Structure 1
Amino acid sequence: MSRSPILLLLLCCVPLAGGLQCYTCLFPAISPMDCLKFPQECPAGQLCLSSTAEGTTGTMLVRIYEKSCAVQSHCGLSGQKRTAGYNFNYSNVCCDTDLCNAAAPVATPARRGAALGLLPLLLYLLLV
């Protein structure tokens, strides 16, 4: 008996490995809004990332959310960054199942009114 039919049968039973499906944001979002999410296939070896950055200037607090694919070295990172007069503390969280970074941010009711007024800041951050 030829080995070709056996190999062909075995190959048919092996699932084709596709990349991980993750949400990515069209633009980052300012709390309490969630970003416009779109599923995308990540390159091999990447994970789904959810990133949160909290920025302050004086008594004003801003939260920005981002979702994307990421290499393992970006997972679990946190730190500080200063931009546009805000001191941002950011943290990255990764997960490894399809569309696992879908969770919407939890809004703080007191911040809702300020969020729309901060849209120009978001646009500025996107352009810098």
Structure 2
Amino acid sequence: MNKLLYLLLLICCPPAVASLFCYTCVFPAVSPLDCIRFPLRCPPGQLCLSSRAVGQKGDFQVVLYEKSCVLPSLCGVRGEKFALGLNFTFTNQCCSTHLCNTAAAPPPPPLWTALLLPLLALR
């Protein structure tokens, strides 16, 4: 009898889905800067998102980073958007633990930057 009562309670009153806390950006950040982020409680059923978008027009390239909460259907999505006169290719990555969408390490600067900086310091 106890098992039947437990089963009925489980069916009638499903356990509450705990909400995640994820970082969200005040506004998207341009590489190599990280966004100004703060923790936010996501709606139930959403995951933490880290999105990277690379915009390119000729030799000019800009990288944007964004963090937020997102529906699972948008995880792992890659695509293209046209904005601000640039073609952006974006990639969404999700994770499912509290504050797991921390900043990814920016890529190392190009070699010419490392060679040019000491020369500028001599002036």
**TM-score bin (small chain):** 0.7 to 0.9
Q: Provide the secondary structure at the position in 1 that maps to 2:19.
A: coil
CA–CA distance in structure 2, aligned partners of residues 30 and 108 of structure 1 = 15
Structure 1 or 2: more helix by fraction: 1
CA–CA distance in structure 1, aligned partners of residues 59 and 108 of structure 2 = 15
Structure 1 position 103, deviation (Å): 2.4
Task: Tell me which residue corresponds to 2:43.
Answer: 43
Q: Provide the secondary structure at the position in 1 that maps to 2:73.
A: helix
CA–CA distance in structure 1, aligned partners of residues 60 and 106 of structure 2 = 18
Gaps of 5+ in 1: 1-15, 114-128
Question: What is the number of equivalent residue pairs in this alignment?
Answer: 97
Task: Tell me which residue corresponds to 2:74.
Answer: 74
Kindly report structure 1 stretches of 4+ aligned residues shifted beyond 3 Å.
none
Task: Tell me which residue corresponds to 2:32.
Answer: 32
Amino acid corresponding to residue 58 of structure 1 in structure 2: G
Gaps of 5+ in 2: 1-15, 114-123
Q: Provide the secondary structure at the position in 2 that maps to 1:109.
A: coil
CA–CA distance in structure 2, aligned partners of residues 17 and 30 of structure 1 = 34
How does the TM-score come out when normalised to structure 2? 0.73
CA–CA distance in structure 1, aligned partners of residues 74 and 105 of structure 2 = 20
Structure 1 position 105, deviation (Å): 3.9
Q: Which has the larger radius of gyration?
A: 2
What is the aligned-residue RMSD (CA, Å)?
Answer: 1.9
CA–CA distance in structure 2, aligned partners of residues 20 and 36 of structure 1 = 19
CA–CA distance in structure 1, aligned partners of residues 72 and 59 of structure 2 = 35
Amino acid corresponding to residue 38 of structure 1 in structure 2: F
Structure 1 position 17, deviation (Å): 5.7
How does the TM-score come out when normalised to structure 1? 0.70
